[in-house]
Amino acid sequence: MTNFLLVALGGAIGAAARYAVTTASFRAFGPGFPYGTLIVNVLGCFAMGLLIEWLARKMPGSHDIRLFLTTGVLGGFTTFSAFSLDFASLWERGDTLTAFGYTLASVALSVMAIFLGLAAMRSLA
């Protein structure tokens, strides 16, 4: 039950942060492209890289903290389900090229961000 509560609490924090970022992005850039979802996925992957490396080096065996932060907070913050919906919306409104560009940018930048996060934390060690 404790693990469930850790994930639930972390997920609420992550989801609230995602909402804040996507709302701010919508206000800043408008509705034409899902910048908010792209931003949270890239930031979330970068943060995951930093966090996993930090936990492995500084707090091995800290299962509760890892569960709260990775599965909870970052799981609630990143939005691949929202990403899929954004792709479908772009596709259905006929923006096929934009939909595929969005997919490529989301995947490539997120994968790069996790490696950058890992490298950044490793350079601090």
**Residue 74 contacts residue 8 (beta carbons within 8 Å):** no
Residues 100-118: pLDDT tens digits? 999 999 999 999 999 999 9
Sign of CA dihedral 27, 29, 32, 38: negative
Average pLDDT over residues 11-19: 97
pLDDT at 66: 92
pLDDT of residue 81: 85
pLDDT 10s digits, 39-98: 999 999 999 999 999 999 998 888 999 999 999 999 999 988 889 989 999 999 999 999
pLDDT at 55: 92
Q: What is the pLDDT of the chain when averaged over all its residues?
A: 95
The mean pLDDT of 20-27, rounded to a whole number, is 97
Question: What was the pLDDT predicted at 26?
Answer: 97
Q: What are 1-13's pLDDT values in tens digits?
A: 899 999 999 999 9
